[in-house]
Structure 1
Amino acid sequence: INLIEKFIKRCDRVCVLFTWSYLERLWCVFEWACVLMDKEPDKLWLQTEMFVTEQSFPLYVDCIRNFSLRRTKCFLDGDRAVLAAKIDECYASHKDFERLVRATATALMARSMAFRAGRSARLRAQFFEPWVDLAKDLGFDELAAKLATCRPSEWRARAA
C-alpha cells in the first residue's frame, strides 16, 4: 500500500478495465489519481469497448456524475485510513480530489467513446455527446467546449 506511487512511476502507461463500478472502489480511484499525478492523461487508457452497451452506458454517466470519496468502498478499513491520509497529503481537499476524478473520467470516457462515435451520427449522439453534456453539467466548461469540437467521423474517414 505504501509503495503504489513507486510502482506507478515505473509504468510507461496504464490500461484500466473501466466498468461502471470502477469508481466505487477506493483503491481503484486512488490508483487512477496516482497515475494522473505522475503521467500525462494520454498515458492512461480506458478499455471500455466490451463493457459499454446501450443498457450500461447510463451507469457510466451516473457513476462519474455522482462520484464521492465518502461513498467509495474499501475491503479493509485500515486501507481506507491510509488512502485518506495519502489523499489529504497530495490534494488541497477531498472536493478538489473528487473534481479531478470527475473531470478526468469524463474526458477519458469521451476519448474512449470517440472511436465508436465515428461510426455514425446516431452513435455519436448516443455515446459521445452525453460526455459533452456531462462536462457542462459538472461545470467543466472548457472541457465541454473542447469535446464539442471533436469530429470522430472525420478522423475515422481520414484514417481509412
Structure 2
Amino acid sequence: MASSTSNPLATGGMHTKLVAAQKATQRGIDTIIVNGTDANTFQHLVKGHKTGTWFSKVKSPLAAKKHWIIHLNQPCGVIEIDAGAENALKNSLASLLPSGIVKVVGSFHQGDVVEVKSRDTQQVIAVGISQYSSEHINKIKQQHSKNIQAVLGFMTSEEVINRDDLIVI
C-alpha cells in the first residue's frame, strides 16, 4: 500500500502516481504507470506490449464539474445527515434537503465545497457544493424546505446541495 510523505524534498512517489491514475480513470482515461528511466518503455508501449501497471477507465466517467468538485477543492466543512437522507443520496440520486441534516461542522460560505457525513457510520459519503452558508444551514437543519423562507427571510434553493453539485462516494 502506498502512502504519502511529509518530506519537503519528495517529488512525487507511488502515492502521487496512484492518485493521478485514479483521477484520470474517473474521467474516462485509461492510464499506465511505467518506468520512466527505461529508454525503451515508450517503444514497448507503441508496439502494443503490456508494460507497467495499467488502470482501466471507469465505465461511467465523472462529468467535468463533478471531477472538479471532488478533486480540485479542499472541503471547507462537514454536513452530518440522518439515515433517511443518507438513503436518499445513495439510492435515489436525490439532492440534500435541510430536513435530513442533523449537524454542521466548521464555518463555510454559500458556494463552498463540503463533505457530507453519515451520522450512523461517521463516514464521508458525499462531497458537494453548498447552496447555503454553515450559519444558515444551522438555522434550517431538520426543517422542511418550505420553511426556509420563513426561517431565513430568503430562499436561495429548496436544496442545501443540489444533486448536480453532489458526488456520492
TM-score range, shorter chain: under 0.3
- Structure with greater contact order relative to length (CA < 8 Å, sep ≥ 6): 1
Q: Which structure has greater strand proportion?
A: 2
Q: TM-score, normalised by structure 2?
A: 0.24
Q: Which structure has greater helix proportion?
A: 1
